[in-house]
Amino acid sequence: MAEGLGDEGMADLNAAHLSGPVGARRAVLEAVFEAAVAAAHPRLCLPQHLPPPPASGRIILLAAGKAAASMTVVAEEFYESEYRLPRERMTGIAVTRHGYGQPTQWIEIVEAGHPVPDAAGLAATERALALAAGAHKEDLVLVLLSGGGSANWIAPAGNLTLAEKQGITRALLRSGASIDEINAVRKHLSRIKGGRLARCAAPATILTLAISDVPRDDPSTIASGPTVPDPTTLAEARAIAARRGVPLTASAEALLDDPANESPKAGDPAFAHSRFEIIARPADSIALAARTARDAGYEPIVLGADLEGEAREVAADHARQALALREAGRRAAIISGGELTVTLKGKGRGGPNQEYALALALALDGAAGISALAGDTDGTDGGGGAASDPAGAIVDETTIARARGLGLDPAASLADNDSTRFFEALGDLLLPGPTRTNVNDCRVILVDDR
């Protein structure tokens, strides 16, 4: 039992976090997160960007990522309702992460591994490359991309095997590397990433519509930029692997040492008929989250839509800001997006948002009037595990006391990267299920002035 608390005190704490001011803040947090997710759903953001079908050719739809299934469904409905497009004029394949598929009319949806690629993704990617290679000049290759596409589309280059690519991916993910760094390496070990899909589909017209999940909305980073010029180089990929301590197999080293394996750059004829549009971005979702918080009576303070950094370090900084706002008597919502990282040192289960939430709760140390939510808009924290895994967690002024009352050691849980079990015991995991979109994380800290 927590020090100074009897059974009655624990019962009061358990009731408080679901009722009264704490419970009211929790409801606002959930509404703000739901708004951030809704802003990036394909049904809202995709139809107005879909082009007319080509005059005589086919639409070859190639989709990858956590929103691939929902984007495909919206595209099918659009071309059937708006243009009565005959079935034979639309073909393609979509690949999404396991648990994120949904029924479609024409285009097959394949569920595959994420964040570590698997054999299902490899087979689906080979089919996508074959469809692209078979495109004619009069065809439209419609590429629908979203976060997760880098793992879903897997086509190892040279003599690299799937098992080798899986091992390198795991090492990159554990290293604390940023998404830009991870993708720079992956692009130079692939036959589809880094502009190579565009090279495969030329001379057909290529239109890529993307939901951005990356800092600065860089087209070359979204799903590892399969249809755009790649600004990264073989030398950079080698340097990243060395700096992050990622072991490379002989096949991977051979690819990174071969000048002929350099990715296509700006000015390459592969991009002569390729166009790229971002249809939803993290900033859009953070903006709607801020409006929702304002409507609930909180002054939104937006720290940015593309924050990066170690989860626990960012949490400590945000806790200081929240405490300063409370001291100043401001009723505010601190809102941020982006993608945080965790350098794994323990053996527990968790993700960047849950680690952030636990570190934040420790830093706040039960400060009254402050509650927070940290969640991944795709529905799964950090992208790993099963589709039923948590998206993040919710904390409030009772979190640390309730945990200690259950015999949990919050600091030890953080040190072991074991945030999932910590919040599971408290009943404070964020569990929206697959959202079928992805604009990275949404973190909200509500500070009451009373």
pLDDT tens, per residue, the chain with 450 residues: 445 555 555 555 555 567 699 999 999 999 999 999 999 999 999 999 999 999 999 999 999 999 999 999 999 999 999 999 999 999 999 999 999 999 999 999 999 999 999 999 999 999 999 999 999 999 999 999 999 999 999 999 999 999 999 999 999 998 989 889 999 999 999 999 999 999 999 999 999 999 999 878 999 999 999 999 999 999 999 999 999 999 999 999 999 999 999 999 999 999 999 999 999 999 999 999 999 999 999 999 999 999 999 999 999 999 999 999 999 999 999 999 998 989 889 999 999 999 999 999 999 999 999 999 999 999 999 756 666 789 999 999 999 999 999 999 999 999 999 999 999 999 999 999 999 999 999 999 999 976
Is 67 inside a domain boundary?
yes
339 and 437 housed in the same domain: yes
Rounded CA-CA distance 385/388 in Å is 8
Q: Which residues of 399-432 are buried (b: 16+ CB within 10 A; e: fewer)?
A: bbbbbbbeebebeebbebbbbbbbbeebebbbeb
Helix (H, G, I), strand (E, B) or coil at 97: strand
CATH number of the domain bearing residue 66: 3.40.50.10180
CATH number of the domain where residue 12 is located: 3.40.1480.10
Count other Cβ atoms within 10 Å, centred on residue 11: 12
Is residue 91 located within the same domain as residue 195?
yes
Q: Is 86 among the domain residues?
A: yes
Do residues 404 and 268 both lie within one domain?
no
Full DSSP string of 305-352: EEE-SBHHHHHHHHHHHHHHHHHTT--EEEEEEE--B----SS----H
Q: How many CB atoms lie within 10 A of CB 384?
A: 18
Q: Mark whether 144 and 129 lie in a shared domain.
A: yes
What Å distances lie between residue 163 and 122, 156, 245, CA to CA?
11, 10, 19
What is the residue range of 325's domain?
7-39+283-447
Are 313 and 377 part of one and the same domain?
yes
Q: Are residues 71 and 102 in the same domain?
A: yes
Instruction: Evaluate whether residue 180 is within a structural domain.
Output: no
- The string of pLDDT tens digits covering residues 66-113 is 999 999 999 999 999 999 999 999 999 999 999 999 999 999 999 999
The reply to whether 124 and 91 lie within a common domain is yes
> Is residue 432 reached through a cis peptide bond, with omega within 30 degrees of 0 on the bond before it?
no
In this structure, is residue 114 part of a structural domain?
yes
Domain termination site, one of 280, 312, 341: 280
Residue where the block lists tokens 């839509």: 305
CA pair distance 55, 57, nearest whole angstrom: 6
Inside any domain, residue 2 = no
The sheet that has 299-307: what strands, in order across it?
A: 299-307, 332-338, 441-447, 370-376, 392-395, 429-430
What's the total number of domains in the chain?
A: 2
Last residue of a domain, one of 214, 247, 280: 280
Question: Residue 123 falls within a domain, yes or no?
Answer: yes
Burial status of residue 113 (CB atoms within 10 A of its CB: 0-12, 13-18, 19 or more): buried
Chain mean position to CA 9: 39
Q: Give CA 435 to chain center in angstroms.
A: 11
Query: CA dihedral defined by 355, 360, 362, 364, rounded to 10 degrees?
Result: -170
Q: Is residue 243 part of a domain?
A: no
* C-alpha to C-alpha distance for 145 and 225, rounded to whole angstroms: 9
Q: What is the rounded distance in angstroms from the CA atom of residue 374 to the CA atom of residue 396?
A: 12
DSSP 52: P
Residue 170 lies in a domain: no
3-state secondary structure of 233: coil
For 375-422, write each residue's pLDDT tens digit: 999 999 975 666 678 999 999 999 999 999 999 999 999 999 999 999
Last residue within a domain, chosen from 249, 280, 311: 280
